[in-house]
């Protein structure tokens, strides 16, 4: 069953009921969360998605927020962001740990189907060789491994491009559909550049990539340019960027087949807020991205204000129903701080 089927009005009705219940669930089980909401005078029922109380995503770096007892903690995910303040700590119980790969699977099935394809990983083979010490990046790569078979790595143990490995992969599997995964900047530097230099044919590939554009914007490559040059120079046209974060593990916002718009699976949504008034922005006007998902039950991460800027391009008017949006970059730090200070004050 597709998670990209319901139009916006229908999904909002379903989501609002679920998220209202989730908010009560977390208030009952996560004392600091309840304290924050109480100090803000948050009600228990909400007229719209935009009325749901959000937490700034960085609160998971400064506070231990969980809605499960200590003895039910199965796994703690950690990640450091790019802007200091330490690492987020995300607590999962067994159920949460089992749900998140399933929902990621349901989302990606839309573009990959159920069959596992031969898979080229645009990352270092060191990720599986040094298994006791892998990074957040390694965990991301391994989480994607389930979607493919016969995995081949495009970089050797010393993080150098392994052109022979890529060529060997393409000789063996390149005449049928194959899957490529990597972080956006790595894909550009270690797949695009290498493929162009060696005239590799990637036209049967399906590329899934994520991780932000900061390094590529510096060399003037944005999403549209990324797609255009991959198509022109390597034949690769089936390209799907996604946006997601560890604080909402299992939820990804996926680029549609026509490119340049991200879509929300039905268990998730986004709201763009004005950074001065925090009101919801209309379609077409940029602001701060709030991400909403029904997956987080073991920690209060169901409604999060990110530190990213984005814009909604349209609603129910694209490849799939719902909102379609783009991520425009990071929020300047001063603005984000203003907001989380309010919340730190409430918790202290």
In the complex, least distance from residue 145 CB atom to another protein, rounded to whole angstroms: 5
Comparing CB distances to another protein, the nearer of 123 and 269 is 123
Comparing CB distances to another protein, the nearer of 57 and 144 is 144
Comparing CB distances to another protein, the nearer of 1 and 220 is 1
- CA 104 vs CA 215, 244, 269: distances in Å: 26, 10, 15
Comparing CB distances to another protein, the nearer of 150 and 203 is 150
- CB distance 178 to 212 below 8 Å: no
Comparing CB distances to another protein, the nearer of 149 and 196 is 149
| C-alpha dihedral sign at 329, 240, 56, 83 | negative
Q: Which of the 8 DSSP states describes residue 82?
A: S
In the complex, least distance from residue 225 CB atom to another protein, rounded to whole angstroms: 31
Helix (H), strand (E) at residue 344? helix 333-347
Pairing of strands 117-124, 178-183: parallel
Chain residues in the site for another protein (CB under 8 A): 98, 101-102, 105, 108-109, 112, 114-116, 128, 131, 139, 142-143, 145-147, 149-151
Comparing CB distances to another protein, the nearer of 54 and 178 is 178
Q: Please list the alpha-helical segments (H only) found in 30-117.
A: 31-39, 59-62, 94-112
In the complex, least distance from residue 228 CB atom to another protein, rounded to whole angstroms: 30
> 196 phi and psi, to 5 degrees?
-65, -45
Q: Which of the 8 DSSP states describes residue 125?
A: T
Q: Torsion-angle region of residue 29: left (phi > 0), alpha (psi -120 to 50) or beta?
A: alpha
Comparing CB distances to another protein, the nearer of 115 and 214 is 115
In the complex, least distance from residue 212 CB atom to another protein, rounded to whole angstroms: 23
Question: Partners of 308 in the beta sheet?
Answer: 330
In the complex, least distance from residue 210 CB atom to another protein, rounded to whole angstroms: 18
Comparing CB distances to another protein, the nearer of 143 and 235 is 143
In the complex, least distance from residue 131 CB atom to another protein, rounded to whole angstroms: 5
Question: Collapsing DSSP states into helix, strand and coil, what is residue 201?
Answer: coil
In the complex, least distance from residue 108 CB atom to another protein, rounded to whole angstroms: 8
Question: Collapsing DSSP states into helix, strand and coil, what is residue 101?
Answer: helix
Q: 38 is written with which tokens?
A: 């109480």
- CA 334 vs CA 176, 266, 341: distances in Å: 49, 33, 11
Radius of gyration for the chain, computed over Cα atoms and rounded to the nearest angstrom: 20
In the complex, least distance from residue 274 CB atom to another protein, rounded to whole angstroms: 39
């Amino acid at each position: 069953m597709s998670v990209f089927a319901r139009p916006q009005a229908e999904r909002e009705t379903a989501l609002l009921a679920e998220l209202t219940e989730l908010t009560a669930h977390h208030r009952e089980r996560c004392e600091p969360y309840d304290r924050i909401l109480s100090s803000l005078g948050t009600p228990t029922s909400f007229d719209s998605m935009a009325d749901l109380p959000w937490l700034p995503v960085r609160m998971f770096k400064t506070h231990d927020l969980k809605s499960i007892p200590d003895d039910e903690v199965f796994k703690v995910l950690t990640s450091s962001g790019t802007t200091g303040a330490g690492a987020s700590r995300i607590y999962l119980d067994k159920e949460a740990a089992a749900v998140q790969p399933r929902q990621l699977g349901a989302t990606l099935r839309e573009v990959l189907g159920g069959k596992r394809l031969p898979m080229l990983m645009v990352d270092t083979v060191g990720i599986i060789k040094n298994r006791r010490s892998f990074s957040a990046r390694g965990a991301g790569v391994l989480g994607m491994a389930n979607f493919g078979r016969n995995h081949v790595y495009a970089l050797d143990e010393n993080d150098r491009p392994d052109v022979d490995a890529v060529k060997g992969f393409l000789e063996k599997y390149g005449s049928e559909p194959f899957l490529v995964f990597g972080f956006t900047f790595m894909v550009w530097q270690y797949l695009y550049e290498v493929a162009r230099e060696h005239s590799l044919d990637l036209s049967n590939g399906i590329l899934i990539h994520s991780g932000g554009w900061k390094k590529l914007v510096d060399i003037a490559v944005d999403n549209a340019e990324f797609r255009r040059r991959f198509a022109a120079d390597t034949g690769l046209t089936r390209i799907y960027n996604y946006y997601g974060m560890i604080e909402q593990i299992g939820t990804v916002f996926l680029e549609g087949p026509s490119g340049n718009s991200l879509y929300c699976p039905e268990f998730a949504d986004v709201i763009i807020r004005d950074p001065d008034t925090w009101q919801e922005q209309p379609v077409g006007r940029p602001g701060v991205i709030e991400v909403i998902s029904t997956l987080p039950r073991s920690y209060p991460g169901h409604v999060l204000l990110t530190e990213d800027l984005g814009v909604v391009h349209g609603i129910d008017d694209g490849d799939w129903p719902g909102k379609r949006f783009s991520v425009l970059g990071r929020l300047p730090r001063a603005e984000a701080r203003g907001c989380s200070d309010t919340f730190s004050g409430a918790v202290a």
